[in-house]
Chain A
């Protein structure tokens, strides 16, 4: 298959540009195959990140024809424009994931209460409910690809408060896990003040069980505080937890 690829090249301190390649590749190729080919045959300095190749580690997320997605499972098209996610850039298609994680780390509750609360599975079972388990499972199917983070109009990694949708998801994961303490008033205030409930973050989430939809929904219904009225836009419907999955 003949393809035309426009790929972003640039660093934070230089003016980026798009470089175009025309090539002939197997029709079964994924976008990540194309990046490998460019690195091997055309541009040894091309920076791209990946690890697993099976849509699991989330490291290969980038924007392909204006859709943020995982390059390792995105099929090729005759013409493609490839650029990094809208997050702090390192080089070319590679964003600064470490900075985002570090930022989220700031808001995670301190340890101390995580030491050996439960001695046995059975004891933990008593403290939880079917609902919590189902929620917790679904919330932890996230790939940490940061697509949501890149879509959020309210997230900025230099902003000390709001940890973005991925941070919001992390907090919700802990909230639904019986071994953790529930979200504090402080956390809720912070989330309520920053998240406008637009639902943009959840729109391109590649995780099948849509963990972020659930996180937003849970926050909306959190007894202590409804985050905002219009949690999710028309395009992203929040699914109820599907017991049959």
Chain B
């Protein structure tokens, strides 16, 4: 089968259509660059952004300010965050948030008056926040998505939807010069020449069997960046959500939330009918932080004390009706799914329901500086695909504060670079060869091989079993071995049986698999290196925090293309 390709040229390409990418593209386009968008899904604004609760942490309460917010983010991140980036988020989140109203978006205000909020928008105090900071939205995150999408459409920014990037191209001098994508809808490759590329590829939830993330977020961006030669940081830092749906299959791992959202009456029980959270957090019990909550639920299930179907039970009878009301109003979609999954009674907390923990957010990623530069001229990164803002654990609502604050800056930096940079030397022959190299495994015919989805499931299984909220040395080591085995022995036997390239899920899976395994390996190797417990990274063989580990694990690409790991001092000066 001969798969065609098309050659395109733009000034700047933004990879990823969540809020981070959207804001970067809007800024660069408004400044005058010829910008294009590449995203894996079809939604106008998608990624984790469209799935989110929309809660945004802002320094909006009287007495609160950037310095206090900074301290909270650093504390939650256990001091390995990049201080410069944290300051940018903490100091600029309010202004960046207001600026959204210039993007065809009307923010929610005046809602939830019964909560007694004096301000126009909703203020709710979350775990780990010194002040009430949460802006909540009755549309969850859909409002943001609608607004940004309209602005992008009106600015006539061309969008290559359902198109996956499979390789980043550099010229002879090491400058970024383009990328190779595969258009799933059209069944063809795109060779895109550009001067600057902004990566906003989001997280890696779909590396796990259970995740709150969408299926498109399989972590391919990290492998692309690694292949291009960027450094990656904190790849061991994966956040898990305590309460998620156990079924139906397609909804498994999708978010319900954490106990604090359900009010003070909520109790968790294991399959033996015992309450257990006091074992993990004697003081706060159910109202502990996300990481400990997820760890507790995970441990009960893993050690065989879960319900027979591998779940724990959430009992919220005796709830305060006002809290149920707030839950319905501020999380309308989650409420709808609870009713659908558990029935009306349990959906309204009149009966207990089952839940599991699941992967939720990724703190690690591409290493950037405060200009969103990656170290490769012309390559920028922003959003969940980057490391630095959240350190070892993310506070609620700070992902949105991050992408709203930093998204536009990535667009600005990419524009500034593009304006001054000498055109890279694009080599079309080399690009063609790269397309051939990507396509070759998809044309393989093997007698006894593996279908791409099977390998995907193998990777997800290894990652879930060994790199979850509770880790231990030998399991991490076995994950590395198994992933290397998949890479060396299984992927070479992958074959595509779907003969029609048009909207072929199998071709899409086949393109993702080699990238997914690279990313999974980075997570495993970083987890093996950090011999302590900090934030979301918890090891039973090293259960304590070790002051000597007040540093970051960084991965870079060695001369032979292999992964080289080292530790590095925490970035950024503390500003007085």
Contact = CB atoms under 8 A, between A and B. Distances in A.
Interface of A: 11, 26, 28-30, 32-33, 36, 39-40, 44-59, 72-73, 90-92, 94, 96-98, 101, 104-105, 108-111, 114-121, 124-125, 128, 130, 132-133, 136-137, 140-144, 170, 173-174, 176-180, 208-209, 245
Given A26-B249, A101-B153, A245 B138 contact: yes
A174 B214 contact: no
B51 to A, nearest CB: 5
Interface string B88-119: 00000000001001111111111100000000
B181 to A, nearest CB: 15
B58 to A, nearest CB: 10
B504 A55 contact: no
Contact of B250 (A53, A125, A144): A53
Interface SS, A side: loop
27 contacts: A30-B248, A45-B498, A47-B504, A51-B41, A52-B51, A53-B254, A58-B43, A72-B251, A90-B502, A91-B502, A91-B503, A92-B503, A111-B154, A114-B102, A114-B154, A115-B30, A115-B102, A117-B102, A121-B98, A121-B121, A137-B111, A141-B139, A144-B44, A173-B146, A178-B106, A179-B102, A179-B104
B446 interface: no
Given A48-B505, A51-B214, A179 B101 contact: yes
Interface stretch (B331-339, B381-389, B550-558): B331-339
Given A91-B503, A177-B104, A140 B146 contact: yes
B95 to A, nearest CB: 9
A140 B147 contact: yes
Interface SS, B side: loop
A97 B162 CA distance: 10
Contacts of A44: 451, 496-498, 506
A118 B101 contact: yes
Interface in B109-158: 109-111, 120-121, 138-140, 142-143, 146-147, 150-151, 153-156
B36 to A, nearest CB: 14
Nearest to A76: B248
B425 to A, nearest CB: 33
B215 A108 contact: no
A53 B50 CA distance: 12
A47 B505 CA distance: 6
A189 to B, nearest CB: 20
B154 A109 contact: yes
B158 to A, nearest CB: 10
B46 interface: yes
Contacts of A50: 215, 250
Given A11-B502, A45-B504, A140-B142, A133 B109 contact: yes
A141 B147 CA distance: 11
A141 B54 CA distance: 13
Interface string B233-254: 0000000000000011111001
B115 to A, nearest CB: 14
Given A45-B498, A54-B254, 10 more contacts: A33-B250, A45-B499, A52-B51, A55-B337, A73-B340, A124-B101, A136-B106, A137-B138, A140-B139, A174-B150
A28 B337 contact: no
Contact of B248 (A33, A92, A173): A33
- Which 3 pairs from chain A and chain B are nearest by CB? A47-B503, A140-B146, A45-B498
B34 interface: no
B401 to A, nearest CB: 15
Contacts of B251: 30, 53-54, 72
B151 A53 contact: no
B185 to A, nearest CB: 6
Contacts of A57: 41-43, 46, 50-51, 214
Contacts of B497: 44-45
A55 B139 CA distance: 13
Contacts of A110: 154
A59 B43 contact: yes
Nearest to B52: A56
A109 B150 CA distance: 10
A54 B337 contact: yes
Nearest to B506: A44
B161 A98 contact: yes
Nearest to A48: B505
B502 A47 contact: yes
B106 A90 contact: no
A170 B185 contact: no
Nearest to A105: B153
A91 B498 CA distance: 13
Interface string B248-266: 1111001100000000000
Contacts of A208: 332, 336
B500 interface: yes
Contacts of A36: 249-250
B549 interface: no
B453 A39 contact: yes
B190 interface: no
Contacts of B216: 51
A59 B42 contact: yes
B329 interface: yes
A49 B42 contact: yes
A52 B106 contact: no
A46 B505 contact: yes
Nearest to B121: A121
A51 B155 contact: no
A158 B102 CA distance: 32
B215 A51 contact: yes
A180 to B, nearest CB: 7
Interface in B299-358: 329, 332-333, 336-337, 340
B504 A51 contact: no
B150 A170 contact: yes
Contacts of A73: 337, 340
B250 A72 contact: yes
Contacts of B43: 51, 57-59, 144
A133 B137 CA distance: 12
Given A52-B51, A117-B102, A28 B247 contact: yes
Contacts of B110: 130, 133
Given A28-B247, A105-B153, A137-B106, A53 B215 contact: yes
A137 B146 contact: no
Contacts of B255: 54
B140 to A, nearest CB: 8
B347 to A, nearest CB: 14
Nearest to B217: A51
Contact of B333 (A56, A90, A124, A137): A56
Contact of B101 (A109, A111, A121, A209): A121
Interface in B528-544: none
Given A26-B248, A57-B50, A142-B146, A174 B333 contact: no
A45 B499 CA distance: 7
Contacts of A130: 110
Interface string B177-198: 0000000010000000000000
A28 B162 CA distance: 29
